[in-house]
């Protein structure tokens, strides 16, 4: 009787969550309501429908919004300043010109996928988007190619690495929970990640880019457009400036892998400078010199650049925060737990099980990291009962599942929507489909690899 009641309660929670998601999409897509306001209303509605008390709903909304923006708001602010310095100095123009010259206009989207994959190795997805969006805008303008044909490969590269490749936090959580070998996991993740990123990136990007034509947001396009009539900065110093946060984060990741307990001072220092906020702050200050003073700008110019670039990001930051509030209500109301409990009762292949559990939690909560973390706790005991299973491939299956079907409860969904100036339906047809292709393709490659491993 208790199990029947529990199943009924879980299904009810899931139904209410679906109702609120449909409500959210319809208000924004059809009736053109402001996404920030609509997300907050949907968060409150879900809380009441799920039986949460008023104080708990308010706490979930405020903590979700604040928790999401605690890091992302700083990252967007600093990253936008870095992008502005690249634009004003001509650095973004230099990188875009070099990529086009080296790869040719017809193949530049392949180069953008590789850039996203490499840059994404040590940085979080949001940081990678902020770092690379000025280059995406300028490459699209120079080549006259669709913005999505250039942007989707970058997003695919960043997202693939985020979900599959250590030392990203989500894969590392599963590696620790399952007791997987780090070296083999990295090897398998690259073998699976590269072809997956190719299919979801350049190939799908070329397809969808012909069907959805969008222009960058006017203010951001103007902000990231090169205004310098002087000589462009060198490719080397520009590349080093944009990769400096990547290098610092990579140093922090390597240090903690080599010294997990952080017993020496260097590891602690490397962790500090390798944190995304500190790494970006150091890089922005360095850019003031390398792309500012060294290019002939004075302190008044740099102060003006860094002040005026923040205004266009205000709407983006608020919408991302509201997405975090909706996600937190989904988690606090028990929707994520309900899905996990139902998935646990499934009797399927362990790799499919790991993917399925992570996918359900991802759809419910909108967070790849939450999906990976929660799924690891559910899958680990089941994995222990399957001694013949390939542990490293199970890690990757969990990561692949955590990427599927990004939609309106995912902060990344709103970030991509706003930066690429798309409607909700356009974002669902492009970004959401790309994430799903990436997830399912990775699962197929994992299952194929499992037949020989």
Is the model's pLDDT at 2 over the cut of 60?
no
Is the model's pLDDT at 130 over the cut of 50?
yes
How far is the first Cα of the chain from the last one, in angstroms, to the nearest whole number? Answer: 43
Range from 42-56, 155-169, 269-283 that averages highest in pLDDT = 42-56
Across 101-115, average pLDDT:
80
Q: What is the pLDDT of residue 286?
A: 93
pLDDT tens sequence across 284-341: 899 899 888 888 888 888 888 888 777 666 776 777 677 778 778 877 887 766 765 6
Is the model's pLDDT at 399 over the cut of 80?
yes
Give me the helix-helix angle, 125-143 and 91-103, nearest 10°. 70
Q: What is the pLDDT of residue 225?
A: 60
pLDDT tens sequence across 250-290: 788 788 777 777 677 888 888 898 877 888 899 889 989 98
What per-residue string of b and e applies to 196-223 under the rule 16 or more CB within 10 Å gives b? bbbbbbbbbbbebbeebebebbeebbeb
pLDDT higher at 100 or 416: 416
Q: What is the pLDDT of residue 1?
A: 45
Percent with pLDDT over 70 in the chain = 85
3-state helix, strand, coil in the chain (%, to 5): 80, 0, 20
- CA 198 – CA 372 distance, rounded (Å): 23
Prior bond to 167 cis, omega within 30? yes
pLDDT tens sequence across 416-445: 888 888 888 889 999 999 999 999 999 999
Q: What is the pLDDT of residue 439?
A: 93
Q: What is the pLDDT of residue 226?
A: 53
Percent with pLDDT over 90 in the chain = 11
pTM score, two decimals?
0.68
pLDDT higher at 396 or 369: 396
Q: How many Cβ atoms are within 10 Å of 257's Cβ, its own excluded?
A: 13
Q: What is the pLDDT of residue 285?
A: 92
């Amino acid at each position: 009787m208790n199990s029947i009641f529990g199943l009924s309660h879980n299904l009810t929670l899931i139904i209410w969550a679906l109702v609120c998601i449909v409500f959210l999409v319809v208000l924004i897509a059809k009736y053109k309501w402001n996404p920030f306001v609509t997300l907050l209303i949907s968060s409150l509605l879900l809380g009441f429908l799920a039986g949460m008390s008023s104080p708990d709903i308010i706490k979930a909304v405020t903590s979700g919004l604040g928790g999401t923006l605690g890091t992302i708001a700083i990252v967007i602010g600093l990253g936008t300043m870095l992008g502005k310095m690249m634009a004003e100095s001509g650095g973004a123009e230099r990188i875009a010109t070099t990529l086009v010259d080296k790869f040719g206009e017809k193949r530049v989207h392949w180069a953008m996928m590789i850039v996203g994959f490499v840059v994404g190795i040590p940085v979080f997805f949001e940081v990678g988007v902020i770092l690379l969006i000025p280059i995406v805008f300028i490459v699209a303008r120079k080549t006259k190619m669709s913005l999505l044909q250039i942007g989707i490969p970058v997003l695919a590269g960043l997202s693939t690495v985020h979900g599959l490749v250590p030392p990203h936090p989500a894969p590392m959580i599963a590696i620790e929970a399952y007791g997987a070998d780090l070296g083999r996991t990295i090897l398998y993740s690259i073998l699976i990640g590269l072809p997956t990123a190719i299919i979801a990136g350049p190939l799908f990007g070329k397809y969808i880019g012909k069907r959805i034509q969008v222009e960058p947001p006017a203010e951001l396009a103007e902000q990231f457009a090169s205004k310098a009539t002087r000589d462009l900065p060198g490719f080397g110093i520009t590349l080093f400036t944009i990769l400096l946060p990547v290098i610092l984060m990579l140093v922090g990741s390597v240090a903690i892998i080599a010294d997990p307990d952080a017993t020496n001072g260097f590891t602690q220092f490397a962790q500090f400078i390798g944190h995304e906020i500190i790494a970006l702050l150091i890089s922005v200050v360095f850019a003031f010199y390398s792309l500012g003073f060294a290019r002939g700008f004075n302190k008044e110019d740099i102060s003006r650049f860094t002040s005026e670039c923040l205004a266009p990001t205000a709407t983006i930051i608020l919408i991302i925060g509201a997405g975090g509030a909706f996600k937190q209500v989904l988690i606090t109301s028990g929707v994520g737990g309900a899905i996990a409990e139902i998935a646990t009762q499934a009797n399927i292949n362990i790799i499919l099980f790991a993917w399925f559990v992570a996918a359900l939690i991802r759809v419910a909560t909108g967070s790849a990291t939450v999906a990976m973390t929660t799924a690891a706790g559910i899958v680990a005991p089941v994995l222990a009962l399957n001694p013949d299973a390939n542990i490293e491939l199970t890690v990757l299956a969990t990561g692949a599942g955590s990427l599927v079907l990004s939609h309106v409860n995912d902060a990344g969904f709103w970030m991509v929507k706003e930066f690429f100036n798309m409607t909700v339906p356009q974002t669902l047809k492009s970004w959401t489909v790309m994430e799903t292709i990436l997830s399912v393709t990775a699962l197929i490659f994992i299952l194929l690899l499992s037949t020989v491993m």
